Each structure stands twice: as C-alpha cells, then as structure tokens.
Amino acid sequence: MRECGNEPPLFQKDWEEQGVPDFVYQQKELLEGIQWPRTAPSLRDRTPGSRFDSALCAAWRQRMELGLFRYRLGELQTQTLPGVVGFVAQLNVERGVQRRRPQNIRSVKQAFDPEQFNFNKIRPGEVLFRLLRQPDLPGALQQEDILVMINVSPLEWGHVLLVPEPTRGLPQRLLPGALRAGVEAVLLSSHPGFRVGFNSLGGLASVNHLHLHGYYLAHRLPVEGSPSEPLDPGGRLHLLRALPAPGFLFYTSGPGPDLEALVDRVCRATDYLTDHEIAHNLFVTRGAPPGKTSPSSALTGIRVILWARKSSFGVKEGEAFNVALCELAGHLPIKTSQDFGSLTEAAALALIRDCLLPPAQAEEVQAALVALIAQDEQ
C-alpha cells in the first residue's frame, strides 16, 4: 500500500506501475466546529490545515501543472449578486465551452452502459488517491473504496469526483457508502467552503456512472444558515422554504451513529425519488442546526439538502447557467461575460424556478418523504 502524500510520478508508465496511493483516515480526523474566519481562507496562497486538504490540494495542483485538465483554471471573477439571496456568481467561460457533452440519458433509472464514457476510461494520472476509512471506526458500516479523481473541467479550485469502485459499473444512483464518504470528506476538511454534492440522472448528471462532486468555494452560501421548519414529529426531516429554492434538510451534529442514521434516511429518500422517476440534486455543507437561524449562525454540524426537481436531460444552450447542485445552493457558475455582467437576482431565480416541480407534485413528494421518514419511529 502506497501512502498518499509522496510526490507522484510524472510519466504515464510510472502512474501505472506505482498504482493509486491510499489516503487512510481515522475517526479523530473528522473535524467538528469549523467556522468561517473573518477573511475567507484562500487555497491558492497557502495549503489548508487538515491532512486531507493538504493531500488533495497538492495532488490537484500538480495535475494542473502537468496539463491534465481541459483548461488551466485561473482566478475566477466573482461577485455577490445584489438582493436578498446572496447568490455567489462566478465567470467560468472555459467550463461552459470545453466540458464534456452530456450523455444521451432518458430516464432517472437508466442502467449503466459500459460503451458510453465512464470513469474506467480516464487517464491514470487523473486519479489523486483512494479514500479509505480506518476499518475499526466505531459504529460505522463497511465502506467501499472511493477513488478521488480530478474533474477535468473544474468549476472551482480543487474540484474532484468521488467515485466508488468504478469497475463495478454502478449507475448514477446514490448509495449509502458513497454518501457516507461524501459527508466524511466534508468533515475531513478544515476549510468551511469544501462542499460535496450529487446530481441524479435528469438532474444534470452528465455521466451515468456513480460519482459525487467535491470542491472548494471560499464564500458562504445561503443554504448554510437558512431557517427551516420540521416536517415530522421526530425532527428528522425539515423544510427549507427560503430562496433560492425550497429543499428538504437533513442534519447531523457530527460523526457517529447519528451520521449513519442520516445516511440511511437520505438514501431512502433518494431511492423513492429515483424509483418514481423524479430527478434530484443533493448538497452537503457545514451548516447551522435546523430551526430559526440566520446567515451568520454558527456551523455546528453537517447539512444535507435534497431538492426534487423537473427532469432536464442535456445542457440548455443559451442560458446563463444550468441548474444543478451548486446553483440550487446559491453558487452560480456563469458561462459568458455578457451574462456575468447583466445577470440579476430576479433573472437567476426565474431560471431556477423553471426547474422546480409544480406545486401539486411538490406537495405529493413532501407527503411521501414525511411518511417514509416516519417509519423510523415505528
């Protein structure tokens, strides 16, 4: 086993000979109580504090220097749109032009197709490391190996994909082991802006091969501190009513049995949505506990926000942005300079609103998820 952290080789034959390094983490490395400093931490000027951040950022930066990305990511022009939401808009022209075209997908439940592009077809150097939890973490279920690889069309610094055992050919349907790895990746980071997310098929996932996204954004987002209301007596499921879009909130204060229960609840909810051909997006971030909160509330735990939405297959040309996991959370990667200069909060909200379920169907989904979560109490 080769430990992550050593300088990786520079030539393809060396990548193949040495194999993928392992990043093995322990319970004590899952960090609680990480807060935003007064000045947002930069990833370009210094290496963030945790061992996970150091390993990811060093390997990611090296792959950028080696030219393994489709474009060289510079400092992105960023602005907060005026208004009540606090959208963080970033101009990323290269991603809009050079990202891989989405696959031909027609169903949220579509089977994996080995003939289509998948993560078994990438170059060896695109894999940064294998993410492995210590097998004796208390109260934890067995977790499959997770390969952490670069997204060759990054939307921000450190943009990676978390891919569980790619050789199994799993379709883009969320599984507990993958979600648990995503939540624990957020807990492994000492940067409050490291987030993880999932797009279902029909929710703008462009590859039908199970993967989550992880990336750094040195800005607060609206969903971190949005107030919520409980939907079930046990307080296991909450509703975020605030803009930019209503979503279902699951919350855990940190690692342990409560995190395992959260993973189970979220995956039962996404299973229901998938089985009923309802597209969805999911976002994992450090955040405030449920209830009456404010944008400045302390980030005491982990928020997992789930949005059910209209199915959208393929990229809509001509729109300022496409609505997926980061846009629903308040982060808007914009494709053109013209749209970046002219986009208003009202226009952004209109684009997002067009992707949401009609009210009657949204109420039906809410009732179904409340009934599903109520099974915990029986």
The separation between the first and the last C-alpha atoms of the chain, rounded to the nearest angstrom, is: 45
Structure tokens at 93: 């022209």
Do β-strands 22-25 and 127-133 pair in parallel, antiparallel, or remain unpaired? parallel
Distance CA 70, CA 87 (A): 27
Structure tokens at 348: 């952004």
| 224 DSSP assignment | G
Distance CA 25, CA 35 (A): 22
Main-chain dihedrals φ then ψ at residue 249, nearest 5 degrees: -110, 125
Please name the amino acid found at residue 135: P
53-to-5, 211, 312 alpha-carbon distances in Å: 11, 20, 34
Q: Do residues 152 and 68 touch, judged by C-beta distance below 8 A?
A: yes
Burial 248-261 (b: 16+ CB within 10 A, else e): bbbbbeebeeebbe
* 187: CB partners within 8 A, 6+ apart: 30, 31, 32, 254, 255, 302
211 is catalytic: yes
Longest dimension (CA), the chain: 58
Region of 19 (left: φ > 0; alpha: ψ -120 to 50; beta: rest) is left
Distance CA 8, CA 150 (A): 14
β-sheet bridge partners, residue 195:
215
Measured from the Cβ of residue 377, the count of other Cβ atoms closer than 10 Å reads: 9
- Of 159, 211, 238, 331, which one is the catalytic site residue? 211
Please name the amino acid found at residue 200: S
Q: Do residues 269 and 207 touch, judged by C-beta distance below 8 A?
A: no
Q: Do residues 218 and 46 touch, judged by C-beta distance below 8 A?
A: no
Distance CA 328, CA 96 (A): 18
Residues carrying an active site annotation? 211
